[in-house]
Amino acid sequence: MEPQSSVGMRGSTKLTTRSRSRMASGLCEVRRVERDRSWPVAGRSRNAAIGARQGARFGSASAGEGFLPRTISPRPSCQTASLGDPALQPGVLEPGNNAVPPAPSWAASSSSYPRAIEIMRTPTLSGPSNAGPAVPGANPASPPPNPAGPAFLAPQPYRALKGAKLRMREFLFGPAYQKHQVALTVAGGGTGKTSLCIAEAVAMAAGKRFLAEPVRPLRVWIYNGEEPLDEIDRRVRAAAMAQGLDHEQLRERLFVNSGRSRNRVDLSRHSKDKRVEVNDPLITSLVESIRGKIDVVIVDPFISTHSIPENDNTGIDLMAKAWGRIAEEGECAVHLVHHASKGGAADSADASRGASALAAAARYVRNLAQMTEKEAKAFGIREDELRRHVGIRVTKQNNSAISGTEWFKLGSIAIGNDPDPAAPGDVVGIVEPFEPQIEEPDLPAMVGAALDALSDPRNIYNFGSPNWFGYAIAEQLGIDGKAHRDLIESLIEFMLKYGAIETYNNPGKNGRPRDCVRGGGGYAMPAVGSAPGTAPGPGGALDG
């Protein structure tokens, strides 16, 4: 394709790229360098040097590529430069050539010098043309460059690592603190989420057990976005006292920062067009502060580290993935603390307030919920004490088996920080491990309760029915049928085995067969422990 001269009025001073219909194939590109009215007649000048540099900037190292400048005159009637003009030879503005173009033939006329030069980038300068001879020292022939540049993401072959070459998961303090991963605690107000995380941080730094066992004394960084530094210090001291530790021994492995300081963490930022972006410079700075120096980062609360609306799934996902990047590049475990939604279910990972993207991005989610009345009754807890008992319910766990509910108890302790040594000082909230005392099942009493339950209309054998016989038994025993399903099912099977009850077909309204339970024939319960299958099994279940 032969480049064409162009005539037209141009008065701006911007560098633009113009596409025309005949260039739609992408085989050439036009770039335009605006000039002021001081085009040189001869010799070197500032504007000519700029033109040479611009030509070099537009260039490519591939051979066969060059630049043909085209003039744009101030009036349609003025001259246009021909491609035979020495100033328009392709080598003048090729990459690496800093030669200053000589003055065009029309430059002597002050009334018709060009206001701008358009530079046409041609795919090849080989073959016959009127562009003049090739410039000595041109680049050797090579394939044209990929216009899209290197691939952003290329498929990576499966590594097929064997044995110890495949890195094991690193749980630093139970599944809630896994290296290279993000975990999440979801809790409502007054459930002790901050006190729990501080207690865990103290135990990790000291290398002591608290609900979990640390793999070693760990370096822990607490970033609290709500409390001032003094309050964090009080809570750390109280947690250390509650665990029988000297808080001064934590200096080298426990680090605390407050979000109320000038250096507040905000992983989000907004572009000029108001798009949400990740604050990459801050992430880089945090990674540099963490890698090799910190094992665990606790962020309380998550909302204090960004400026994204909580219901914005896209923005929250960016922020959660930003913390995941910090965990990966910083080679640490990141644990985020977040508020629960109003009325959120304690047994669901979606109980977190706002966008569901946060829980989706976390590899481990635990919910804190106060003990219910049914649980208090089963554990023998007085009604006025149940609010002090909080359960840790694992609602999502991608990288290990979901464990049962763990419990802790809310309390308080005087930290002795009053100037008067005789005064107790501030009283600060703490958490203490709590293990419910579950009595061994009384087999005769359970069988008696099951026999009494036969008069209840709920007599369906299948657990999936709302009229499951086990619910009637649970009501007689004063326990939660769903929570104690295994125990109740063991009891039912035990009584079926010894003939205390039997199943029979009682079709439902749709006529389909339906197994129901009724009293059996004569029944003599064996003495507990006198024969195999009569003693309570593991976890209170009856072996049958």
- Angle of the 469-477 helix axis to the 485-497 helix axis, nearest 10: 110
Helix runs in 480-540, H state only:
485-497
Nearest Cα to Cα of residue 353 among 337, 342, 363: 342
Residue 439 clears pLDDT 50, i.e. is over it: yes
Q: What's the confidence (pLDDT) of residue 146?
A: 63
Beta bridge partners of 431: 410
Q: What's the confidence (pLDDT) of residue 107?
A: 46
Give the residue-averaged pLDDT of 509-534. Answer: 68
Q: What's the confidence (pLDDT) of residue 122?
A: 44
Q: Which residue type sits at 337?
A: V
Beta bridge partners of 369: 391
Residue 203 clears pLDDT 70, i.e. is over it: yes
Output the CA angle 386-387-388, nearest 5 degrees.
90
- Model confidence at 197, pLDDT cuts 50, 70, 90, reads very high
Distance CA 310, CA 315 (A): 8
- Model confidence at 54, pLDDT cuts 50, 70, 90, reads very low
Six-digit token string for 481: 């049928």
- Model confidence at 126, pLDDT cuts 50, 70, 90, reads very low
Answer for the pair 47, 117: CB distance below 8 angstroms, yes or no: no
- Model confidence at 520, pLDDT cuts 50, 70, 90, reads confident
Q: What's the confidence (pLDDT) of residue 373?
A: 86
Tokens 């094991």 found at = 168
- Model confidence at 189, pLDDT cuts 50, 70, 90, reads confident
Answer for the pair 5, 81: CB distance below 8 angstroms, yes or no: yes
Give the residue-averaged pLDDT of 245-256. Answer: 94
Distance CA 158, CA 160 (A): 6
Residue 27 clears pLDDT 50, i.e. is over it: no
Answer for the pair 365, 325: CB distance below 8 angstroms, yes or no: no
Answer for the pair 87, 119: CB distance below 8 angstroms, yes or no: no
Tokens 């799934």 found at = 313
Residue partners of 244: CB distance under 8 A and separation at least 6:
none
Residue 90 clears pLDDT 70, i.e. is over it: no
Q: What's the confidence (pLDDT) of residue 541?
A: 45
Residue partners of 140: CB distance under 8 A and separation at least 6:
63
Average pLDDT of the chain to the nearest whole number: 76
Nearest Cα to Cα of residue 459 among 492, 485, 483: 492
Rg of the chain in Å (alpha carbons): 39
Helix runs in 59-157, H state only:
none
Give the residue-averaged pLDDT of 272-301. Answer: 95
CB atoms within 10 A of CB 354: 19
**Longest CA span, the chain:** 126
Nearest Cα to Cα of residue 198 among 163, 223, 180, 230: 223
Buried b (16+ CB within 10 A) or exposed e, 527-544: eeeeeeebebeeebbbeb
Give the residue-averaged pLDDT of 247-253. Answer: 93
Which sign, positive or negative, has the C-alpha torsion 236, 238, 243, 247? positive
Output the CA angle 348-350-353, nearest 5 degrees.
125
Q: What's the confidence (pLDDT) of residue 403?
A: 67
Q: Which stretch of DSSP H or E encloses residue 46?
A: helix 46-58
Residue 443 clears pLDDT 90, i.e. is over it: no
Least confident of 80-89, 447-456, 491-500, 513-522: 80-89
- Model confidence at 209, pLDDT cuts 50, 70, 90, reads very high
- Model confidence at 131, pLDDT cuts 50, 70, 90, reads very low
Q: What is the pLDDT of residues 461-495, one digit of tens each?
A: 998 899 999 999 999 988 888 878 888 998 999 88
Q: What is the pLDDT of residues 337-385, one digit of tens each?
A: 999 987 766 677 788 899 999 999 999 999 999 998 888 877 888 888 8
Asked, as a colleague might, if the bond just before 40 is cis with ω within 30 of 0, I would say no
Give the residue-averaged pLDDT of 295-307. Answer: 97
DSSP character string of 457-480: S--BSSTTSTTBHHHHHHHHHTS-
- Model confidence at 82, pLDDT cuts 50, 70, 90, reads very low
Reduced to 3 states, what is the DSSP secondary structure of residue 515?
A: strand
Identify each DSSP E strand in 235-346 by its residue range: 254-258, 268-270, 276-278, 296-300, 333-339
Residue 120 clears pLDDT 90, i.e. is over it: no
3-state percent breakdown (helix, strand, coil) of the chain, nearest 5: 30, 20, 50
Q: Tell me which of 198 and 381 has the higher pLDDT.
A: 198
Distance CA 236, CA 254 (A): 10
Q: What's the confidence (pLDDT) of residue 376?
A: 86
Residue 41 clears pLDDT 50, i.e. is over it: no
Q: Long-range contacts made by residues 481-487, C-beta under 8 angstroms, separation at least 24?
A: 483/374, 483/375, 483/378, 484/378, 486/539, 486/541, 487/441, 487/539, 487/540, 487/541, 487/542
- Model confidence at 100, pLDDT cuts 50, 70, 90, reads very low
Reduced to 3 states, what is the DSSP secondary structure of residue 536?
A: strand
Distance CA 241, CA 476 (A): 44
Statement: the pTM of the whole predicted model exceeds 0.75: no
Reduced to 3 states, what is the DSSP secondary structure of residue 221?
A: strand
Which sign, positive or negative, has the C-alpha torsion 162, 167, 169, 170? positive
- Model confidence at 537, pLDDT cuts 50, 70, 90, reads very low
Q: Tell me which of 428 and 43 has the higher pLDDT.
A: 428
CA atoms within 13 A on the CB side of 245: 24
Least confident of 101-105, 316-320, 523-527: 101-105
